[in-house]
Amino acid sequence: MKVKLLSILLLCLSFSSSASQLDELKDLYDSTFSRDNSFCHYNKYNFELQIRSIDRYSESNDRDYGEYPFLNQQGLSYKVNFNTQNIGRYRFIYAKEKECTKTLSVPYNSEEINLLFAKDARPYPDQLVVLRYNPALKAVTLLEHTQIPIIDYYRINDAVIFSSYIPKTEMGRMQFEGMPFSHISSALPVWRSFDGKIIKIETGITFQEFEWKHYFKNLEEFKAEFAWSEKDKFFHKNQFELIINSQLRKRCIKIADEWRCRSF
């Protein structure tokens, strides 16, 4: 299912949406309250993004979220239709970029820019939403709810690198070489990139960011352990096992069905 979803995303992010995603709704704009805003400049055009809400006040953990994303340009306010049911709450993915003052963005071409939002998915991590905008035409050319969590992130040149890691850890006890060890089974933290056109898993960055990478000989062994498929561009194994004995100061990770140990 995950492989299928990723394949769909690669296709969806490569073509434009034909449906109108902007409505000029001044009355709604005037009757709601600003949660956050970001000023943007692209292709010689200035515009402002706003997250607005029907609630004047909110709890501290809700203050950046709103039901109504708006785009203001040349004195007009346009509501961004993130979905047909108008259900959901959104926020900016905070970043200071040369294109936008407060939200993460990635150029698509010389005329269009990808503006990145996060959809509230609590109690799970917020999910990435991609809005592609042409400021000259005042038109949204792509709107994609990726359903991929975005947690940690940074931008390199014209690409965003982000982690979708949701902690899934199980702990127990086991005997190893006649001694008791704590046993930990955990999910592999996967890193992806978005270059403005497609989202893909970055094997090299996933390896470099992996806390226990020094137990592996190289990237190729890491890819083999987690069943990386060049065809699917996906890790088919997403769990790893650790055992730790603090008194012995010994830590081991299971690689190729064998425990590989180091002292710490």
pLDDT tens per residue across span 31-61: 999 999 999 999 999 999 999 999 988 887 7
Q: What is the mean pLDDT of the chain?
A: 90
Q: Strand order of the sheet with strand 179-187? A: 169-176, 179-187, 239-245, 250-255, 258-263
- The pLDDT value given to residue 60: 79
- The pLDDT value given to residue 18: 36
pLDDT at 89 over 50: yes
- Tell me the β-bridge partners of 199: 194
Buried b (16+ CB within 10 A) or exposed e, 188-215: bbbbbbbbbbbbebbbebbbebbeeeeb
Over the stretch 160-182, which tens digit does the pLDDT of each residue have?
Answer: 999 988 878 899 999 999 999 99
What average pLDDT does range 62-78 have in this prediction? 92
Residue 167's region, left for phi above 0, alpha for psi from -120 to 50, else beta, is: beta
pLDDT at 243 over 80: yes
- The pLDDT value given to residue 86: 59
Beta carbons of 185 and 169 less than 8 angstroms apart: yes
Alpha-carbon span 187 to 241, nearest angstrom: 9
What average pLDDT does range 86-110 have in this prediction? 92
- The pLDDT value given to residue 41: 97
What's the one-letter identity of residue 99? E
Beta carbons of 189 and 202 less than 8 angstroms apart: no
- The pLDDT value given to residue 26: 85
pLDDT at 151 over 70: yes
For 35, 75, 215, the CA distances from 212, given in Å and listed in that order, are: 40, 53, 6
- The pLDDT value given to residue 57: 83
